[in-house]
Structure 1
Amino acid sequence: MPSAKRSVEPRRKPRQVRAELTRDRILTAAAHVFAEHGYAAGTTNRIAERARVSIGSLYQYFPNKDAILAELVIRHIDRGVWPQADRLDLSPGTLEQVVRALVRDAIDNHRDDPQLLQIMLQEAQFSGEVLDTIARHGEQRIAQLRNLLARHPDVGVADLDTAAELIVFTVELNTHRVMASSPTAAVEKFETELVGMVTRYLRGPAYPGPAIGHVHE
């Protein structure tokens, strides 16, 4: 694990387009280098070489690779919005489809690079900016889901604030774990089971469900 004493705050925030492009190139190169070589061997020299910048230029933006990884975590979190939420069908009988859309959105946001995701989970240090980003994203996601649950006629839980918080963190934490290391078949099973669990919880205790011992024709 990286030393907790090392700075993970970026050194320079670009103000010009050219500087922003250089910073983006460094981050893109780092993502590839970490995924290909692992975090220990993903040195700043390798990142600079992949980004086609001098090591001095890299250090103008980031003091070390821990700061680079912290910025990659921030970008990963900020990309994880749920744009389809406002377009979902909230008519009676659609609760399972709504929950599946939530779970699938979380899965899709973590599909691209499981190796990099695993490195983020194992190696990233939580700078103040990372923690602020996580908190802001969590608040936005919870508020978005809470608003949706309040409008769906099939939701039977009484405490929507607690329900939204529980669901967001259950989906996010378990999706991170599964997507970092599981094959496709396991991900599909995970989606099915998680959707079923969350749907049953949201319907509440008053939902009758199928009769015990019922045999399908």
Structure 2
Amino acid sequence: MAADPQSLRARKQPRQARAELTRQRILTAAAHVFAEHGYAAGTTNRIAERARISIGSLYQYYPNKDAILLELVTRHLDAGAVLLKERQDGDQPEALEAIVRAFVRVVIDNHLDDPKLLQVMAEQAPRAPELLERMARTEREQVDFTRDLLARHPEVHVTDIDTAARLVVSTEQLVHQLLAAPRSVDARRLEDELVAMLTRYLTAAPVPD
């Protein structure tokens, strides 16, 4: 459900170290409260109490808990984008399986937070227009990079490179879903299975007509 952008904007942009520390305390407290109590019961009063500040001080920074959750989601996306950018800018392994493993590991490592918090972010985060556009733009950039990489790698035999790139990038959504599920899977086992699945798909010889 789309949300009113004005109701989701942080009210106070910290300009001093003390104010930034207060905002960090609010976000850290909110992450714990949402994970422990869920989103419905994760009230701003509980967040303020956990952060050891007054409710009035909290409202100086965020108008409501939706805005706080949106900030947590944005920071989660930022962390993932930084990790993927570092992978893209670094030297790529020669073997395709090693390339795939590096990508899968980055995605999984960015989702090793508390699974309950991940579930809250996945299911309850307000769909602000800026967030949706940001997610779409990031996905396009990742697909473009992956498409170029697959197109020039000698081990790749899949015929539809564009679709293959989209499938590889969509692995991030699958990881998010599996690690945030009530019955979570082992992260390292998930890594091995995803690497095997993607590598076999990308290197399989095309079936003749």
Q: What's the TM-score, normalizing by structure 1? A: 0.80
- Aligned mate of 1:89, from 83, 89, 93: 93
Structure 2 counterparts to residues 4-15 of structure 1, below 5 A: 7-15=7-15
Gaps of 5+ in 1: 208-217
**Identity percentage of aligned residues:** 56
Number of aligned residue pairs: give it: 201
TM-aligned CA deviation for residue 148 of structure 1? 3.0
| Aligned counterparts of 1:139 and 1:41: Cα–Cα separation in 2 | 36
TM-aligned CA deviation for residue 16 of structure 1? 3.4
State the one-letter code of the partner of 2:131: V
TM-aligned CA deviation for residue 47 of structure 1? 0.8
| Aligned counterparts of 1:104 and 1:26: Cα–Cα separation in 2 | 30
* 1:136 matched to 2:140: no
Computing the radius of gyration over CA atoms, which structure comes out larger, 1 or 2? 1
Give 1:168's aligned residue. 169
State the one-letter code of the partner of 1:110: H
Give 1:42's aligned residue. 42
Gaps of 5+ in 2: none
Question: Is residue 70–residue 124 contact of structure 1 (8 Å, CA) maintained in 2?
Answer: yes
Which deviates more from structure 2 when the two are superposed, residues 117-126 or residues 158-167? 158-167
TM-aligned CA deviation for residue 197 of structure 1? 2.4
State the one-letter code of the partner of 1:124: A
TM-aligned CA deviation for residue 75 of structure 1? 0.5
TM-aligned CA deviation for residue 99 of structure 1? 1.1
| Aligned counterparts of 2:140 and 2:13: Cα–Cα separation in 1 | 25
TM-aligned CA deviation for residue 134 of structure 1? 1.3
Distance 1:25 1:144, change over 3 A: farther
Larger helix percent: 2
Give 1:107's aligned residue. 108
| Aligned counterparts of 2:160 and 2:16: Cα–Cα separation in 1 | 47
Root mean square deviation, CA, Å:
2.5
| Aligned counterparts of 1:32 and 1:133: Cα–Cα separation in 2 | 26
State the one-letter code of the partner of 2:48: A
